[in-house]
Structure 1
Amino acid sequence: MSEVDILDLCSREPIHIPGHVQAHGYLIILDSVGIVKYCSANFNELARQELGIEILERYITSISAVLGKPADDKFIEYIINLSWHGKEFKPHNPYVVNIKGHAYNMILSLSGEYYILDFEPEASDLYTDPQNTVGAALSQMLAAKELQTILENTVIEIRRVINYDRIMIYKFHDDGHGEVIAEDKQPGLETWLGLHYPASDIPQQARELYKKNYTRLIANVDDVPVPILAISNIPADLTNSSIRAVSPVHITYLKNMGVQSSFSVSIIVDNELWGLIACHNYSPRFINFRQRETAKLIGQVLSSGVGLRNQEKIHQDHLTLQSVVMEVARSLLKNNKIPDVISDCGQGIIAACKASGIALYFEGALYLFGEVPDDQDILSLVEELNARNDGLIVSQRLLEELPQAQLNSGKFAGLLACKLTENIKDCVLLFRKEVSLTVKWAGDPAKIIRFDSNGNQYISPRNSFDQWSQQVKGNSEKWSEIEIQTLLEIRDEINFAIGRKTIELRILNEKLRDAYAELDTFAHTVSHDLKTPITAIKAFAELILRRSSEDEIRKMSGKIVDNSARLSNMIGTVLEYAKVGQKLLNKEKVDMTSLITEIKDQILVGVVNKNLQINILQTPDIDGDPVLLFQVFLNIIENAVKYSHKTGFPVVSIDGTIVAHDVVYRITDNGVGINSEEQAKVFGLFTRVGKINEFEGNGVGLATVKKIINRHGATIKIESEEGNGTTFVLSFPLAG
């Protein structure tokens, strides 16, 4: 059997059905009509001595006889009925009975559908009744505001009340192990303050019992437990019994520490076992029921105090973190760019969340603030986060829990990260540095496996409690629930801002579309209406030119005719530009070989430089409007010819290829080229670049090309250097 298996066996020990009770008391378990189903062997011996009977399966009157009580209705009613208020069981103060001349408290509780009667001595080893001093003790306990001071006051007051040799506040950590965080003791005893104890010292099933029974007394570890007699093979559930026997492992554990008597009071916060008031005495000590109830009251008040301080801290943390969320909201409302929130609010976020740094992965880029891992490490975490269905990572042991993330920056041990939206990698990540701790254990927590004389393994409590130090690395401080919630709220604020900006862009886009349509209509109308007066001006100027004999008048008339013609040509091109926006697209598969060949033939008719060479290479077909595509390629090829015709041997090449999901055409010339600063301007309406006086044009052709390209869902870009020619790259979506 492996060590893990043995430890698991220990953690599953059925301590609620030990089959024995502690020797200082007696036990009887009755059914609902008062028949004895279980009893401790010592009570059965009493019945044999007093009445000469075996008590099992006897009616309650037999019990009364053993206790020297008449079987009156009041006694029976108390046992069977009085403890029920509606459907809820409410134990009363113990009923005092006499057993062999000594007063015993009869304590009533439930065992499933049965009734447990525990009989404990009324006599106590305490010299004073703690009820007389509990008021002053509570006042002293709660006098301070700081939780640690309250805990320190508590151990002092508890020790004053019950006079045990050592009183400790034992707090459970998240992994189940405990730590002594406050202590008061007899002078001369070694302090255990600050020592840690492994979770196996108080296993899970024991912690569950502490949540049900708020006090637990072990009066004398040397007492021999008394067996329970039963009428069946089903063991009695003694979860609620005050004299339930103790696990042999725990008895050995106490003996190894030199403890003769142990008493504990549960500290319950938010229905969970926060810790224990653990009391040790180095000689046997018995505390009666009423005195234990007083101690339980102190524990309940302390539990309330701990819960209140925790709530105050949570409330203060909540206020701090909410102020950060509000600051994020204000930043997102103020800035046009979402990533600006990191530079604006990064310092506040990492301070409030006790983080070292923050990273925002947004639209393929990283935005960082504070101390964070390397970019590649962060990107590996983005991939890990994206692979998770819940889109959330909460880790305080990053290298251990996410080794697949390939995080090389070892000083970061904590990660709190969430995706912004589903199916998109955008996310926010908070980092914490490693906190290296030296944990002081009460003995080596790993050395609890022993071997018997036959070499078989068995569980044995530690027999050495010498301080044993362990260096704990690779951990960060744990992320609190409110910190996790805050990150999710920051995520929501960012998503809200993204949604708001998306709506704003849609509204703006609609306005631009309407304005664009109006502008097209306006340009078409104005261009059309201007043609008539321009034609008239030109006609009158030509008439003056023919009839006048004066040179000056003829000269001016000629200029009017020339400029009227130029203006008419410009109006015509604007009209064509406007028509592009209004024309419906009639897409079809266009035979590009035929289209480009036709353009080549048309250009070569009026070519200026007879050395011009137009090379047509591959011409894959394009899905588009044939009329508009003709206009696009005519404009670009004409431009290539125009801006290279002054070269001795102008060469224009047209080559198309299919790249991934696009048909890409490259139209290259060896002309004058375009410098980098002017390349972005060439598609503007009426914009001309370079030496505009050396080449004819009106700056509308490429603007028209750009408009047609956009309507086809295509793209166009320029590759050029001044003096080294130009290449226009056109990418059209491949037909589905």
Structure 2
Amino acid sequence: MNSDLLDLCSQEPIHIPGAIQSHGMLIVMDEKGIIHQCSANVEALTGISYTDILGGSVTLLNKALGKDHANNFLVELVSLSWHDGEFRPSNPYQVRIGREFFNVILSQSADNYLVDFEPQQSDLFQDPQNKVGASLSHMLADNELQSILENAVQQTRHIIGYQRVMIYKFHQDGHGEVIAEDREAELESWLGLHYPASDIPQQARELYKRNYTRLIANVHEQPISIVGLDPAPVDLSDSSLRAVSPVHIRYLKNMKVDSSFSVSIIVEGELWGLIACHNYSPRYINYRQRETAKLVGQVLSSCIAMRSQESQQKELLSFQAAVMEIVRSLQNTDNIADIVQACGANMLKTFDAVGFAFYFEGELYGFGDVPYEEQIALLSSKLASTHAAEIFATDQVSSDSLLADLAGTSFAGVMACQLSAELKDYLFLFREEKASVVRWAGKPDKIVEFDDKAQPFISPRNSFEQWLQEVKGYARPWSTTEQQIFIQIRDEINYAVARKVNELRKLNEKLREAYAELDSFAHTVSHDLKTPLTAIKAYAELIQRKSTENDVQGMAGKIKGSAEQLTKMVHTVLEYAKVGQKFVNKEHVEMSSLLWNIREHLLVSKLNEHLQLDILSTPPVEGDPILIFQVFLNVIENAVKYSHKVTRPIVSVEGTLDASHVVYRITDNGVGINAKQQEHIFGLFSRIGDLDSFEGSGVGLATVKKIMSRHGAQITVESQEGIGSTFILRFPRNSVA
């Protein structure tokens, strides 16, 4: 049934029908007893024309009601019905009209009061109050909910004598299903049949939450119109005599039902279902008898609520064992990336899911069958920006615009939980489609017809013959308990993530302290080594000057050369140590002039006259100007050095921008670096290529790496031996344009 027809159903003003059922009489009066409206059958019951009482006092009816002329009992009943600011009438009050007794039932409607007069005489000859005690005992004789429901329909039918009694349960989408039934043997069973939500539309369900019983005594009698001085229709929501929607009357006639009676089943403040009673001849039961049936509904409501809580508690206990197993696996997980693998199998088993995903800091960690990373990234972003609730759960992906990217996939059910309100990190569970067949009581369509003014109205279906529908696109719904447990597991994963993050922070702090100590030690040792190395060099020079023997001269020369080499190494280590101790003063560094200065310096001392050193685009970076200069000088100088032996060495420097970084690529066509050497190239004293062919200390790139780390930047290398190398420097953009 399309949305336009549902709107048509929902717009029917069933609370202001402008009429009552024909078995009673209605008076609408204010708190002073002035009659504003009444049913048109007042004269037929009391002998007084409604034109004579409208606008007058309700005491005008006293004689017909067997009361003294001055008795203002109806106004007194209204006054007595107010308790602590709340209107709570003690219904019913009994009067006699002619030879027949009537129950007087009070209710409120805006600023006025409704006075329903209903016959005391009933088609139910035995007083059901004599049966209700034993019936309730029979009803509650079993612990299983389904058995209790089956007992309830049997005992309700025993009490009120209707030919068919059903428990009609509402599903989440508003449609109903007959889940228990007791009937006369010759009637066809309706057990297990489904009825569309439009059969009992939303506004009707709201009235069932307000009035716990609803009697339609005779579908064939014409309703009695309400007349009055006030043209506005009176709200009859709380009137027991309220007339029935013409659509519903026709619906019952199409079902061959002459009388119906319903008792609401309210669980935790919501309409869980109805005790729906049908009779195939007119049947009237009075107010007290309906109240007895209402007691059955209230006891059944409490019983369902209790059994539901017991079922949830049992389900919760079964989940707790799985939660403990997941917690144990999380405690043994060493890093965040392993969390999903550690508990994935348990998650799928516990939640009857096909996939479990953890989207954390822009990375997807999945177990089982999960969507693509791009789909989950987009879903996480949408949920974080639009879904404020702690948990998101659906059993029909195609019905939610948030999940448009999952349409057409095998996933029909999704449950998602955000790790924290500030982050877009999410846990996801996925369920596959579970196709099913629903047995409808007739094809669930309404027929649209048009009145003599060409206005559309709903005509109920004529056929209630069983109609089968294959339902696709749905997964098994996520229960309330499952959602609670998922949140609990989210909290455990949050705790595990926080624990790992704290461990990493502590480790990083220790590493920083160790590096600081190492820097201090290297600086001290390097500085202290300078003095003895200077002395060694001086003594070697002295030996060379004093000795005339060639062997001694040669050995002294070697001592001097080794001392000089060691002095250079000490100097480079000292420079490396200074990098760790130097304060990083970040500024906006214009790279063009910096790089052209380096180019000019290197071209002056070039080793190959054919060197081509290209400076291309030069976007600015943010950093310490001195340290940034040291980085680029080292890397470009290395590129020139390791390419000078080719015929035409070419070195290029090019900067680009991406979403979050300034990226520089320094490329040469030199000797290249093999895969094994690439693993250690940024280590202290690590050198590449033929050590006799290229000078160097092996400290330059280690220094570069350290400077980059202190800037929150990265340096990597891509290289092929014999072809050349590209060093890639990535600087955070921050406030750099």
Residues 557 and 143 of structure 1, relative CA distance in 2, 3 Å threshold: farther
Cα offset for 1:629?
Answer: 5.9
- Match for residue 668 of structure 2? 668
- Match for residue 178 of structure 2? 180
Letter in 1 for 2:666: R
- Match for residue 262 of structure 1? 260
1:216 equivalenced with 2:219 (yes/no) = no
Distance 2:613 2:625 in 1: 19
- Match for residue 337 of structure 1? 335
Q: Deviations over 1:283-324 (max 9, x none)?
A: 222222221111100100111111222223334445555666
1:298 equivalenced with 2:296 (yes/no) = yes
- Which of 577, 586, 598 is the matching residue for 1:595? 598
Cα offset for 1:134?
Answer: 1.1
Distance 1:449 1:641 in 2: 85
Residues 450 and 3 of structure 1, relative CA distance in 2, 3 Å threshold: farther
Distance 2:115 2:232 in 1: 18
- Match for residue 608 of structure 1? none
Letter in 2 for 1:171: K
- Match for residue 369 of structure 1? 367
Distance 1:460 1:633 in 2: 83
Matched-pair contact (CA < 8 Å) for 1:47–1:55: no
Cα offset for 1:153?
Answer: 1.2
Letter in 1 for 2:443: D
1:659 equivalenced with 2:656 (yes/no) = yes
- Match for residue 473 of structure 2? 474
Q: Deviations over 1:393-441 (max 9, x none)?
A: 5433323434983446543222233555678654333222222222222
Counterpart of 2:62 in 1: which secondary structure?
helix
Matched-pair contact (CA < 8 Å) for 1:377–1:408: no
1:38 equivalenced with 2:37 (yes/no) = yes
Matched-pair contact (CA < 8 Å) for 2:451–2:457: yes
Matched-pair contact (CA < 8 Å) for 1:381–1:405: no
- Match for residue 145 of structure 2? 147
- Which of 612, 616, 628 is the matching residue for 1:615? 612
Bigger shift: residues 545-554 or 569-578: 545-554
Tell me the TM-score normalised to structure 2 length.
Answer: 0.86
Cα offset for 1:278?
Answer: 0.7
- Which of 113, 116, 136 is the matching residue for 1:115? 113
Counterpart of 1:670 in 2: which secondary structure?
coil
Distance 1:713 1:488 in 2: 35
Counterpart of 1:134 in 2: which secondary structure?
helix
- Match for residue 705 of structure 2? 706
Letter in 2 for 1:479: W
Counterpart of 2:605 in 1: which secondary structure?
helix
Residues 193 and 692 of structure 1, relative CA distance in 2, 3 Å threshold: same
1:102 equivalenced with 2:105 (yes/no) = no
Letter in 1 for 2:567: S
Residues 513 and 121 of structure 1, relative CA distance in 2, 3 Å threshold: same
Bigger shift: residues 108-117 or 201-210: 108-117
Q: Deviations over 1:462-497 (max 9, x none)?
A: 222212222222222333455445545555555555
Residues 713 and 155 of structure 1, relative CA distance in 2, 3 Å threshold: closer
Please list, as runs of the form range in 1=range in 2, the aligned pairs for 1:17-36 lying within 5 A after superposition.
17-36=16-35
Letter in 2 for 1:434: E
Distance 1:633 1:80 in 2: 93
- Match for residue 224 of structure 2? 226
Cα offset for 1:530?
Answer: 1.9
Bigger shift: residues 381-390 or 167-176: 381-390
Matched-pair contact (CA < 8 Å) for 1:332–1:338: no
- Which of 301, 305, 313 is the matching residue for 1:307? 305
- Match for residue 446 of structure 1? 445
Please list, as runs of the form range in 1=range in 2, the aligned pairs for 1:53-64 lying within 5 A after superposition.
54-64=52-62
Counterpart of 1:617 in 2: which secondary structure?
strand
1:194 equivalenced with 2:197 (yes/no) = no
Residues 169 and 570 of structure 1, relative CA distance in 2, 3 Å threshold: same
Tell me the TM-score normalised to structure 1 length.
Answer: 0.86
Distance 1:37 1:638 in 2: 102
Matched-pair contact (CA < 8 Å) for 2:617–2:656: no
- Match for residue 607 of structure 1? none
Distance 1:656 1:118 in 2: 94
User: Percent of aligned pairs with the same residue?
Assistant: 53
- Which of 272, 278, 286 is the matching residue for 2:284? 286
- Which of 237, 240, 243 is the matching residue for 2:238? 240
Please list, as runs of the form range in 1=range in 2, the aligned pairs for 1:538-553 lying within 5 A after superposition.
538-540=537-539
Letter in 1 for 2:601: E
Q: Deviations over 1:519-558 (max 9, x none)?
A: 2222111111122233334545666677789999888777
Distance 2:409 2:575 in 1: 65
Cα offset for 1:215?
Answer: 1.1
Cα offset for 1:58?
Answer: 4.8
Matched-pair contact (CA < 8 Å) for 1:26–1:43: yes
Cα offset for 1:267?
Answer: 0.9
Matched-pair contact (CA < 8 Å) for 1:20–1:40: yes
Matched-pair contact (CA < 8 Å) for 1:110–1:116: yes
Matched-pair contact (CA < 8 Å) for 2:533–2:567: yes
Letter in 2 for 1:310: S
- Match for residue 81 of structure 1? 79
Distance 1:61 1:506 in 2: 86
Distance 1:227 1:632 in 2: 94
Distance 1:387 1:87 in 2: 44
Counterpart of 1:104 in 2: which secondary structure?
strand
Distance 1:523 1:256 in 2: 97
Residues 175 and 634 of structure 1, relative CA distance in 2, 3 Å threshold: closer
- Which of 204, 207, 213 is the matching residue for 2:205? 207
Distance 1:247 1:170 in 2: 20
Q: Deviations over 1:133-176 (max 9, x none)?
A: 21121122222222222111110111111121100011122232
Count matched residues: 725
Letter in 2 for 1:88: E
Cα offset for 1:182?
Answer: 0.8
- Match for residue 13 of structure 1? 12
Please list, as runs of the form range in 1=range in 2, the aligned pairs for 1:376-391 lying within 5 A after superposition.
378=376, 381=379, 385=383, 388=386, 390=388
Distance 2:40 2:456 in 1: 33
Distance 2:693 2:349 in 1: 64
Cα offset for 1:518?
Answer: 3.1
Residues 373 and 680 of structure 1, relative CA distance in 2, 3 Å threshold: closer
Bigger shift: residues 261-270 or 369-378: 369-378
Distance 2:39 2:727 in 1: 101
Distance 1:409 1:3 in 2: 22
Q: CA RMSD in A?
A: 3.9
- Match for residue 721 of structure 1? 720
Residues 564 and 325 of structure 1, relative CA distance in 2, 3 Å threshold: same
Distance 1:567 1:456 in 2: 103
- Match for residue 428 of structure 1? 427
Matched-pair contact (CA < 8 Å) for 2:33–2:75: no
Cα offset for 1:251?
Answer: 2.2
Structure 2 segments unaligned to the other structure (5+ residues) = none
Cα offset for 1:261?
Answer: 1.8
Counterpart of 2:239 in 1: which secondary structure?
coil
Cα offset for 1:681?
Answer: 0.9
Counterpart of 2:462 in 1: which secondary structure?
coil
Cα offset for 1:719?
Answer: 3.3
Residues 682 and 124 of structure 1, relative CA distance in 2, 3 Å threshold: same
Q: Deviations over 1:40-85 (max 9, x none)?
A: 3443334337x99944455444433212234686946752433232
Counterpart of 2:47 in 1: which secondary structure?
helix
Matched-pair contact (CA < 8 Å) for 1:443–1:467: yes
Matched-pair contact (CA < 8 Å) for 1:215–1:265: yes
Cα offset for 1:450?
Answer: 3.6
Letter in 2 for 1:706: K
Residues 240 and 667 of structure 1, relative CA distance in 2, 3 Å threshold: closer
Counterpart of 2:117 in 1: which secondary structure?
strand
Bigger shift: residues 201-210 or 581-590: 581-590
Residues 312 and 541 of structure 1, relative CA distance in 2, 3 Å threshold: same
Q: Deviations over 1:669-717 (max 9, x none)?
A: 533x431011121221123345546655443233233334445665433
Distance 2:722 2:68 in 1: 123
